[in-house]
Amino acid sequence: MTAPLAGIRVLEVGTMLAGPYATLLLADLGAEVIKIEPPAGDISRQVGDTYFASLNRGKRSVCLDLNDASGQQRLGELAAESHALLVNLKPSAINRLGLTYAALRRWNERLVCVAVTGFGLDAGDHPAFDYIIQAATGVAALTGDPTGPPTLPGYSAADNSTGLTAALGLLAQIVSGRGGQVEVSLRDVMLSQLNYHAAAYLNTGTEPQRRPFGAHSYYVPAQLFPTADGYLALFITHDGFWKSFAGEAGIKGFTTMAERVARRADILEAVTTALADDTADGWEQRLRPLGVPAAAVRTLPEALEAAADVAVTAGRHRLIGSPIRIGGYRPRYGPPPQLGEHGDRPSSRAGT
């Protein structure tokens, strides 16, 4: 099957994670991604080979100094032959280097320019790294035990989420058939992902609470529970799930969601007591055949061992493959590019 994005060329002026992750997803679907790097390269090359490879496999690297006239000329020439440009830099750098639709439309009226920033193109250069955004948008305040400090989730949730959103915005504008400027900010993305929490506050003034074991605000029981060995994630969202779980766990009553919400403390005590009779793995094996949403808490190595099919080979690296699976299409995962490997004039190709 021809790659879904075969024939689409995307320029990337990206650093670290959010921008490169967006174009990685597009490259996996067959787009030709040209990574425009400064003479010193994307700073993520300094983090480590596996870090860089995880975000840049299958791309092409072109070295341009966008601070001089010749670099700007080549940027324009590449823009004339491309469908989109995605950039994640400070707003002042994006504007100064001419990485906007307003600056590049003279080369290509149909070019889609996507700016990934912390707070918006017109919001200034406030530091906007992933963990800063998680702190600034309420995500950290919602995470962790209520008796302890705010907690970060341990991976780059804001950058990854913003990369996904930027890829969607880029494709949406390409499909429209029009060029133009697209903006995606880390702040807006993370506030959007707090959807039902934000809606409750905006409409009723209800502030979200940080609950023990990451308990859900609306569903009960829906959280982590200690067991005889390990922790179990249980997510009971309707009465049918509860009936199946309660029957297996030997718990009587609490038959409706309304009752379970009203008697949160009582039901959590009953569930915690019942789950202490078996291990997390044991409960998962007992509940899964019943269709009850439950999973033992695993480490990343354990999770990868249980999902060996997600790992792919890209050059000399083992990486996680594309999460988008399309019937009849299998991505071809190329290696990450060497700095400037493709000079300043990459040859055309029709996807992968």
- Joined together, the tokens standing for residue 100 give 């906007």
Distance CA 64, CA 174 (A): 25
Report the run of H or E that residue 231 belongs to, with start and end: strand 231-235
**How many CA atoms within 13 Å lie on the side-chain side of 127?**
6
Task: Indicate the burial class of 108 (C-beta count within 10 angstroms; 0-12, 13-18, 19 or more).
Answer: buried
Contacts for 285-288: CB closer than 8 Å, 24+ residues apart: 286/248, 287/244, 287/245, 287/248
Helix residue ranges, H only, 205-253: 239-249
Give the span between the Cα atoms of 125 and 238, in whole angstroms: 46
Q: What is the DSSP string of 155-169?
A: S-HHHHHHHHHHHHH
CB distance 133 to 194 below 8 Å: no
Residue of 28, 42, 130, 159 marked active site = 159
CA angle in degrees (0–180, nearest 5) for 14-12-23: 90
Q: Is 159 a catalytic residue?
A: yes
Adjacent-strand bridge partners of 317: 314
Distance CA 22, CA 168 (A): 9
Copy the structure tokens of residue 346. Answer: 């990459």
What CA dihedral angle connects 273, 274, 277 and 280, to 10 degrees? -100
Q: Residue 90: name the closest of 99, 82, 102 by CA.
A: 99
Q: Which residues pair with 32 in a beta bridge?
A: 9
- Residues serving a catalytic function are 159
